[in-house]
Structure 1
């Protein structure tokens, strides 16, 4: 929530740029003071932002020295320059009165008071934003109270922080309102787009500040201000994919009491999921994976749905049922489930700093992912030894994370992890969960009402860790058909494993990757055809035929009938499923042709195609290729991020977060 320390800087910079054009009204001291003051404020803002970014990137023990002092000085200088400009306007009043009588100067002079107020308010917002971020994230931050017993977040200081955010919002409101009062016809034409852009930037900044305010509203409760909270921390392994991002193999309990966060010693998921025994509980209608796959009906394997709220709640229910039936330890109260994976650790490691574990390994951001997902299996082939070392890594990481060396990097790292769904949140408190949903941190399936939709989700059904070596590619070919869209989607999975590999990473299917591919589309999408060659089964495990890539009739919810895939419904989406077997260094694929009714909308005088894509978190980003065929007569095409190749609009990107694409045109 504090990840936008530069709030107000861009907007303020425009105000001062526009006002700097007044240098051509150069007659007496007043007008000269206006011009020099505004130009000075603009340059000070630039230097302030540059210095502040330098400070954020510095180690914590070197904070608030040269760069921090320079940022403060430049912020104060920017505010002083803006005030000097306002004083110049007042002191030069007779000259400005004279300018009102001159046709060439009258319009600009009339708008000067609004522009000056906007400039003062914006520089004030920028100054307070810098000060807020430095006070919150600096080494002497009043928000963090340190003692011999550890550190805690001071709840009362959160209320003070919220009040400061509201004050910054008030200043930006004032700036935006005064800009909206400016009559553009009175300004030189070259400033019209800048005024509009600045108003838009101010509104966008207000949205971000509003989210910060709302987050600070619910943060005290999350931190246990009203009583002890207990959260289940589930650590997922993306080398063995499940719907939410990976098999849940490690766990811990995170407690929060009056701002103090503590992590119980991490342990194996099998401390609760003893002997992988299944439990009979009521299964929600949308949880079709769990209902149709018996081995998913247990605490450690219930996260097959990519919808984190659904999977998290199922996991908690299976934990309680296991405690009741088998007597395993599980808390009576769970206030939320937090899903993380090694990519989260990589993002947050710069904040925690490198460290050495008792086994002798030094953990750094650039090596933690490779070690956890690959090297540990080769170095520690005995499962008990490997799990002990992994616990040392995780325990050491969280011990440092709760008292980070670089707090600002904690903010940016957490933002990256949440934005890419490598960290997922589900909270039982309704207000807190609403905030999580507003921030899109909940990892829920989100099918838009009036857009095309694609969400490709893999489940590793080979019992191996080959997702570490794989690469997904999605190709969509979209052709308008009146108000409908005819879509061909091909999902390709490349198995990049090389041999030999550690025995424990190969699992049941050896070097053959077996991803169950599930394609989520709009609920009204109509399947026209599907393609995927089958693999001959029943042969010797090492026969040449078994090394061919193709489709397998397993598990039961992925079995095809009559050349058509199995079809399911989940959280408002239609799902087509199929399982591939892919030999080393080969690629397997599934193809689906379907019609999406009403995917082409008319908005005003434009036709619009919008595509919402959700992404399942993986070790490597997916390759996305979308081709949109423009209809005959299409003109004035607008397609941000696309490139045009004749009558085809092409979009290519490495996919590592949810995405919305749009093409619009006139006919």
Structure 2
């Protein structure tokens, strides 16, 4: 339909509804019905005489107008700090403050307990040190009270580090490791104090030198056998405690606590050394002294005036028989009367032939100590003795005049008079060669050995002093022990009595500096030896650079040379008074040599291998009163982080050793 006033031209114009927003749609619907807003279409066409689309024959089109986009009407924003939010914030702040206060009180409580625990642990450490010193010295009368003190201090430390507050604070960052470390250490020490330490007094009384001293040529081994299991358990417990403290020491903690941990660890290391030695002794001594059956041992008495790697030539060979604690001297021969054999008694390696003089190591009893590997020397000596006498011994030991002088008091040497200490050593290694014939020398050595054995078998003298002398001799490499029994050899392995050639012991690099005499003479009595070892740097690959200097000094007085016998200077010696030596230096396992010098002048290197270890040697000639030094720069194996172990050849006088790491 049309409106009468619109005219013909509006008759065909359609009517459409406007686009609606959501609010209008819900009120009016979506169609163009009642209530819809409408807009006319706009006619588009070519301009005519009266304006666009006024006339003409061109087609007329209709364009739909674009409605404006719908926008949600703005809503009012509520305020951020509502009453609920303010209330929640106050609650959170009060809770945080309360938590901090509680944590502060807990930390303060734990700090007070830690101070008490530290004091108790320090006192326990001092008690352990006293305990170790008393045990070594054989002072048994104070052991029970010392153990009781250690128990009390350890219990106090453990009580101070227990409770819920320690558990809670132990979870906090920063202070947590310190709290856990103190608690763990206190528990470890308390377990040790309440466990094996109370039995230590009984054990020390049994292994006391006076108790083990021979009486009438026999050692009563029954008490030692009885406590052997307890000693072993005590050693294991101390070892576990030491490991626990060492683990604790590896944790981050406050300096005050770490100092107490380090002190306790140091004391436990000393105690473990004593208990480990006692445990080995309790397991070794009874069977080696014949509780499981008779034993025979070869004793190589070395002469340091004619040096070999292990000390000196085997000048005298003794045979000891042990059965149920009773010891007898059953045989004795000069080393020169054992062999020489036409061929080596055991197959020698190519390395041994090159380093130790062809076949001599396996042919001459006097030369079995040329190798620095004592188990190897012992096996060769055992086979030589078997071929010479038909007797197969159960073990081999070494000793020298320095060992005998330390064990004995006065000794009647016959022509030399009654001597002791350094005077006895000087006579046996030097004086006897000035005035006596070879036959008389052998007789004097035989009589001295007989007196020494008789004195020791009778238990005369101070037992503690004898033990100290044996310990000193073992540390200097003068006293070595080898057993053909695998279990006993395993107990000896890695100890100072072992004497095996090795380049590393646990994480500790081993450097060997050995001396060989290369002339048939007793002139090396006049040599003083010094070894200086300095660590220069730790390399990026974990190895270490060491500088090892061995210095030899001649004590020979040129004016006295004409008075020295041919037995001292060497028969038919063209240059009397001259000392000729060979220095053999072994690098640690996995290491080698970087450079070498003699008296500050560079020398060439020609390293050789012996049992997978690199060694370098240098021949030294000393005129009377002269000094000569050889220095090697050595690289250790990787990750050998422990203290360097230095093995040297024991001489007539102790080697002067200096180690700077």
What is the TM-score of this pair, normalised by structure 2? 0.65
2:520 corresponds to which of 463, 488, 505? 463
1:583 corresponds to which of 623, 632, 640? 623
CA contact (8 A) 1:138 1:407 kept: yes
Give deviations 1:64-89, integer Å, cap 9, x for gaps.
xxx765x2674476479669979x98
- Aligned equivalent of 1:122: 193
Matches within 5 A, 1:318-329: 318-321=384-387, 323=388
What is the distance in 1 between the residues matched to 2:469 and 2:479?
11
* DSSP-derived class of the 1:151 partner: coil
Distance 1:231 1:371, change over 3 A: same
What is the distance in 2 between the residues matched to 1:452 and 1:37?
37
* DSSP-derived class of the 1:243 partner: coil
Give deviations 1:39-92, integer Å, cap 9, x for gaps.
999998888778777x75xxxxxxxxxx765x2674476479669979x989xx
- Aligned equivalent of 1:311: 377
Structure (1 or 2) with the larger CA radius of gyration: 2
Give deviations 1:514-567, integer Å, cap 9, x for gaps.
11222333676367676699xxxxxxxxxxxxxxxx9xxxxxxxxxxxx85665
Matches within 5 A, 1:216-227: 216-227=282-293
1:159 aligns with 2:214: no
* DSSP-derived class of the 2:583 partner: strand
1:334 aligns with 2:400: no
Give deviations 1:440-486, integer Å, cap 9, x for gaps.
42212212399876423221122222222212345678577865878
Distance 1:39 1:304, change over 3 A: closer
User: Shift of the alpha carbon at 1:253?
Assistant: 0.3
CA contact (8 A) 2:114 2:182 kept: no
* DSSP-derived class of the 1:302 partner: helix
What is the distance in 2 between the residues matched to 1:207 and 1:417?
17
- Aligned equivalent of 1:364: 420
1:382 aligns with 2:440: no
- Aligned equivalent of 2:485: 429
Comparing 175-184 with 357-366, which one deviates more in the overlay?
A: 175-184
Comparing 39-48 with 227-236, which one deviates more in the overlay?
A: 39-48
CA contact (8 A) 1:277 1:298 kept: yes
1:190 aligns with 2:230: no
User: Shift of the alpha carbon at 1:236?
Assistant: 0.3
User: Shift of the alpha carbon at 1:615?
Assistant: 1.7
Give structure 1 stretches of 5+ with no counterpart.
1-20, 26-33, 57-66, 102-106, 324-329, 534-549, 551-562, 625-651, 654-660, 663-667
What is the distance in 2 between the residues matched to 1:174 and 1:587?
49
- Aligned equivalent of 1:416: 472
CA contact (8 A) 1:239 1:467 kept: yes
CA contact (8 A) 1:281 1:318 kept: yes
* DSSP-derived class of the 2:298 partner: strand
What is the distance in 2 between the residues matched to 1:42 and 1:479?
34
User: Shift of the alpha carbon at 1:388?
Assistant: 1.7
What is the distance in 2 between the residues matched to 1:240 and 1:354?
25
Distance 1:68 1:307, change over 3 A: closer
RMSD: 5.2
Matches within 5 A, 1:125-164: 125-126=196-197, 128-137=199-208, 139=210, 141=211, 146=215, 150-154=217-221, 156-164=222-230
What is the distance in 2 between the residues matched to 1:575 and 1:309?
19
CA contact (8 A) 1:381 1:502 kept: no
1:511 aligns with 2:577: yes
Comparing 448-457 with 567-576, which one deviates more in the overlay?
A: 448-457
What is the distance in 1 between the residues matched to 2:509 and 2:245?
38
* DSSP-derived class of the 1:224 partner: coil
Distance 1:23 1:502, change over 3 A: same
- Aligned equivalent of 1:618: 651
1:244 aligns with 2:307: no
* DSSP-derived class of the 2:370 partner: coil
Give deviations 1:277-324, integer Å, cap 9, x for gaps.
644445321422455265872223232111112222222333344x3x
Matches within 5 A, 1:165-204: 165-166=231-232, 168-169=234-235, 172=238, 190-195=256-261, 197-198=263-264, 201-202=267-268
CA contact (8 A) 2:530 2:656 kept: yes
What is the distance in 1 between the residues matched to 2:316 and 2:114?
65
CA contact (8 A) 1:278 1:295 kept: no
What is the distance in 2 between the residues matched to 1:617 and 1:250?
17
1:496 aligns with 2:564: no
Distance 1:512 1:144, change over 3 A: closer
CA contact (8 A) 2:207 2:278 kept: no
Residue correspondences, number:
531
What is the distance in 2 between the residues matched to 1:222 and 1:415?
18
User: Shift of the alpha carbon at 1:436?
Assistant: 1.4
- Aligned equivalent of 2:300: 234
CA contact (8 A) 2:547 2:631 kept: yes
Distance 1:167 1:528, change over 3 A: closer
- Aligned equivalent of 1:444: 500
User: Shift of the alpha carbon at 1:412?
Assistant: 2.9
Distance 1:284 1:339, change over 3 A: same
Comparing 439-448 with 194-203, which one deviates more in the overlay?
A: 194-203
Give deviations 1:126-151, integer Å, cap 9, x for gaps.
55323422343265x3x66745xx32
Distance 1:372 1:115, change over 3 A: same
Give structure 2 stretches of 5+ with no counterpart.
1-111, 169-177
CA contact (8 A) 2:151 2:190 kept: no
Distance 1:279 1:116, change over 3 A: closer
- Aligned equivalent of 2:348: 284
* DSSP-derived class of the 1:399 partner: helix
CA contact (8 A) 2:144 2:201 kept: no
What is the distance in 2 between the residues matched to 1:290 and 1:609?
31
What is the distance in 2 between the residues matched to 1:123 and 1:409?
33
What is the distance in 1 between the residues matched to 2:608 and 2:279?
40
